[in-house]
Chain A
Amino acid sequence: MIEVQNVSVVYGSGEEALPALVEISFSVGEGEMVAVVGPSGCGKTTLLLAIDGLIRPTAGRILIAGEEVRGVRRDVALILQDAGLLPWKTVRQNAELALRIQKRRESVDGILSALGLNGFERRFPAELSEGMRRRVGIARALALRPRVLLMDEPMANLDSLTRERIQNLILDLWWEMGFTGILVTHDIEEAVFLGQRIIILSPRPARIREILENPGMGSHEYRGSPEFLERAKTLRQLLEENG
């Protein structure tokens, strides 16, 4: 479904050239969910923006469903690092934003109530808790029923209960909607809970260090099982060596 082939991204040019990604290659099958972990500032967001068609790779190419990505695709949705809600739009307007821009008339009621946001449709983002804002960001992306969902640390800086609840929710929605997912995170447990494979990136400029298989992933019960803990331990070791 997604093929990233030898992708490099360099910000700026000349003296100030700042390489962010170096020859990244991996592929994600249809309906697969892959986690990407790496140190802060290594280039994870850059990778997602490139896959979403918002940044053009300096070298290499990205294919989605066999077509080279040359701009934003409407069947790909992006959940931004800080939810990226528009403060001048209400919860409902924010959730509807992507649909309306694409001139689609579907209702967002279903997704809003699935995310526990009913009753808050007319509130502005400033009136919500951080966890609710994240859920609005998720609603905005899922309302599109995308084939590909790109998630940039959707649970960062949430309390652990809220984080687990949203992780479970994403897992359920993935089963239900069958999208192909790429989840960027710096949380070890989250990567093991949600990634069928876990791609480990080096410090900036990001190269692929290791790809960890994680076949047990897929149910709520996986969290806390011996296999889960074992994977988390391996991942932690790999990240520590990564330095």
Chain B
Amino acid sequence: MRLALAYFLGIVLIFGAWALVSFSLAWAKGRPILPYPWEAAVAAGENIWTLLSAFGTSALRFLVALVISFFLGLPLGLAAGFEAKLEQFLSPLIYLLYPMPPVALLLFLYLAFGLGEVVRLVVVVMALFFQVVVAAQGAAKFIAPTHVVAVRSTGASRWQLYWHVVIPATLPSVLTAARVSVGLGITMLYIAETKLGILLPPSQGLGRFIEYYTFRADIALAGVVALALLGLLFYVVLEVLEKRLCRWKYVGVKGGS
């Protein structure tokens, strides 16, 4: 209840600030620049079905990209951090590729994958994948040796070692990293849906929605708000997932073992 109230206050505050900025800009320039929140709200209402459909498409796209990033990035990152031999070999590769922005490769991605759904997913996956890999590798490097010895001494197989130690030990860091990367992921989603979505109707993703209504500032702004809400949605989902799956992190004395 307190949390709901805090969110409500936050929303009121943001909309208040937004209205203030709109007013100041209009006053300074002598003409309307940024539509008022209520104008955007009316525009959202008038285009609600297109907007909802765009939201749904973007959410699904992001979810699929997130899941793919986990499925590919988690095993690679964990192995690269936990297996000393693999680490020597994979670390340089990962660190060379990690800072490379997929945006810089848009042209080649377009040439390689065309303008279909695949290329949009590839762009978002490329961004999230490296976040997951680097977080998993970092966490897997610092697994307590006593946990490994405890499980190895029972006669565990390599797979059992991963299942009982490596995965649970690194899950909190990986989920946190994924949560922090939502912002980056949403940016990449926007770029993918605008730059690589020029053939799409406005209902096929929020990026496309915003671009399509470039000249209707109030509608475009409604799309921007929806995009922010999409980010919030994934942020919250990942946080709830972490609290659920890593309950052990939140018990006992704060700062205790």
A interface, CB within 8 angstroms of B:
49, 52, 54, 72-74, 77-78, 80-82, 84-89, 97-98, 101-102, 123-127, 144
Chain B residues with CB below 8 A from A73, complex form:
155
- In the complex, which residue of chain B has the Cβ closest to the Cβ of A128? B252
Q: Which residues of B contact A54 (CB under 8 A)?
A: 149, 152-153
Minimum C-beta distance from A27 to chain B (A):
22
B28 close to chain A: CB less than 8 A: no
Interface of A is mostly: loop
The CA of A170 and the CA of B32, in the complex, are separated in Å by 82
Interface residues of B in 240-257 (CB under 8 A from A): 246-248, 251-253, 256-257
Contact (Cβ within 8 A) A84 B155: no
- Name 5 interchain pairs, CB-CB below 8 A, sorted by A: A72-B152, A86-B165, A101-B164, A102-B155, A126-B251
Does B42 belong to the interface (CB within 8 Å)? Answer: no
Contact B164 A97 (CB under 8 A): yes
A80–B150 touching, CB < 8 Å: yes
Question: Given B146, B151, B156, B248, which contacts A82 in the complex, CB threshold below 8 Å?
Answer: B146
List residues of B whose CB falls within 8 A of some A CB. 146-147, 149-156, 160, 164-165, 168-169, 246-248, 251-253, 256-257
Complexed CA–CA distance, A78 and B151 (Å)? 10
Q: Are A87 and B153 in contact (CB under 8 A)?
A: no
State the Cβ distance, B22 to closest chain A Cβ, in Å: 49
Q: Which B residues lie within 8 Å of A101 (CB)?
A: 151, 154-156, 160, 164
* B146→A72 contact, CB < 8 A: no
Instruction: Rank and list the top 10 A-B pairs by shortest CB-CB distance, nearest first.
Output: A126-B252, A84-B150, A98-B154, A88-B168, A78-B153, A84-B146, A72-B155, A124-B248, A88-B248, A101-B154
- Which A residues lie within 8 Å of B256 (CB)? 126
